[in-house]
Amino acid sequence: MWELLRDLWDFTKTRKKFWLLPLILVMVLLGILLVLGPNSAVAPFVYTLF
C-alpha cells in the first residue's frame, strides 16, 4: 500500500497535478478500504458497501 502512495506522490509531482490530490486521496482511501477489507475482520461489512 505504501508503494501505491509513493507512486501517487511521484505521479502528482511529475505531472504537476497537486490540485487533483484531494480527489485522488479520497478515491485511494475508499480503494484501500476495499482492498484491505476482504482480508480482514471487517470483511463482512466492507463487502456490503461495494
Kindly list the residues in this chain that would bind other proteins in the complex (CB under 8 A).
1, 3-4, 7-8, 10-11, 14-15, 17, 19-20, 22-24, 26-28, 30-31, 34-35, 38, 40-45, 47-50
Shortest Cβ 9–other proteins spacing (Å) = 11
Cβ contacts of 20 within 8 Å, gap of 6 or more:
12
Shortest Cβ 2–other proteins spacing (Å) = 11
DSSP secondary structure letter of residue 41: T
Shortest Cβ 48–other proteins spacing (Å) = 4
Q: Is 45 exposed, middle or buried (0-12, 13-18, 19+ CB in 10 A)?
A: exposed
